[in-house]
Amino acid sequence: MKRHLSSIAAMLLVLILLVPYIPASTATAAEAFPFEEITLKQLEDGYTNGKYTTVEVVQAYLDRIKIYEPNYNAFTVMNPKALDEAREIDRRRASGEKLGPLAGVPIVIKEAVDMAGFPSTMGWAPLSKEKGGIELIPERDAPVVTRLKEAGAIILGRTNIPAFSSSGTRATTSWDGDTYNAVDRRLVPGGSSSGTATSVSGNFAVLGIAEETGGSIQNPAAAQNIVGIKPSFGLVPNSGVVPLGGSTRDVIGTHARTVQDAAAMLDVIAGYTHDDAKTVASIGNIPVNGYTSKLNTQELAGKRIGLYGKGWRDQELTPETQLLYDRAVKELIAQGATVVTDPFAGTTFAQTVKTGANGIDSVIYDMQNYLKNLGPSAAIHNVQELITKTGQTPSIFDRYNGNLPNPDSHPDLSAFIDTRTKLLKIINDVMDKYDLDALVFPQMYKETPLLSSEDNIGATTVSEINLAGVPLVTVPAGYYKSGSPFELAFTGKMWSEADLLGMAYDYEQATKYRKAPILTAK
């Protein structure tokens, strides 16, 4: 009997040795990662009760990134001091020091946003040291980065963008190549905050900083099944950010997996700073109790919601998009909302968007100011040096056909101001006429295209939202049969972020469509 058992044991040993070895960190990465889909509240509670240390959390995220980053390319550079900064947060917490609202929270920052000591490549090969270009190092952080650091956030790295953030669909033009969609690598990731969306959706970080001129917060959020906040123009400082329409359209916003987390991050980055004169408009327009103050599951009750129609944009929804939108409208009604069909019918809104000034005429002037503010030690200080030293003219200057204006001259923005004024008046008049609390549209009129195709994302709110300067919140609202995400866009009057977030939260909690994507390693 003993001999028989010994034979069996020997056979089992041979079989075990024949099975290919799969490293545990790769084979069970999803199971081994304890912080998948963790919320700010859950993370904060874990820190408070001693369940987690910041070092433990940050290390877990770095380990996850190491496994999956080669297959998703979300980052352009990592922060080598992330663990040191985590240890400092743990030390301060252990000593009883008062910590900021994001203490120990792993976040990512879009490449276009300056971080002192880290290269600002603009996504452009001539400014990438890795590609033999000039290394452009800002001397100081952008104001939003300063605020996040003061809040105790741990920045894991900077995230990939297309060159000059000039695509709302993909990051193909980046010197670092494509970023891949965390929901499905075959889909475009959305742009230009491609890497931030992938990082947040793929659980490489808890929160992310995104930035938008024409869809660059909302498009990747919708494509990757996460929450995005595109704030009112002037609410969050955009100084220290590579500009497209810095004087007119550019905004910094948040990516998160939940409405509550996105709102909490907005609380940290919103408000006036002397570094950005535009933010004076935010004074008196920030809710006293913050952007989480209206997050409750009764917020849609009694609200009046305007629906998508040809008055907003003469663009039909695809049949499947229409079915998903119809379901979402029923869900809004089930939460107590009253809906109004196509409230913009009979207005000149859609035509004004088509024929109005786009507000990008300030790009030379804005780029000049951006380069000047990089600091004396930076390799480039003005637009002329940018062209001369790189030997190339940035594609964002192509609209001038080689006749570049004086970059120090204030651009004539009168046509754009006229366009924004008209659009805001129509929005305000329509919402007042129908007593609307918000507009809720499908963020895209079709499903997210394949990365292998030449199709662009079909947003319903770009350029409308950016020309008007009003806020928008995206929230997951289901999936197409293909598995591509479907999202709603909540929008409304200037400075209505808290109201929009409250309604989006109510919808999110009632439906809970967000699902953690299953990542694949190389």
Residues labelled catalytic: 110, 192, 216
327-333: long-range contacts, CB 8 A cutoff, minimum separation 24: 327/478, 328/440, 328/442, 328/477, 328/478, 328/486, 328/488, 328/507, 329/440, 331/477, 331/507, 331/510, 331/511, 332/300, 332/305, 332/440, 332/507
Interstrand relation of 485-491 and 438-442 (parallel, antiparallel or unpaired) = antiparallel
d(CA 187, CA 452): 8
Q: What are the φ/ψ torsions at residue 339 (nearest 5 degrees)?
A: -110, 150
Q: What are the φ/ψ torsions at residue 70 (nearest 5 degrees)?
A: -60, -25
Strand locations in 194-260, DSSP E? 207-212, 227-230, 251-256
Residues 6 or more apart in contact with residue 60 via CB below 8 angstroms: 33, 34, 35
Token pair 């651009």 is found at 411
Token pair 């993909």 is found at 170
Interstrand relation of 304-307 and 438-442 (parallel, antiparallel or unpaired) = parallel
Residue 289 in contact with residue 231, Cβ under 8 Å? no
Tokens standing for 246?
Answer: 């810095």
Listed residue (400, 388, 398, 381) closest to 120, CA to CA: 381
Tokens standing for 384?
Answer: 């002329």
Residue 486 in contact with residue 445, Cβ under 8 Å? no
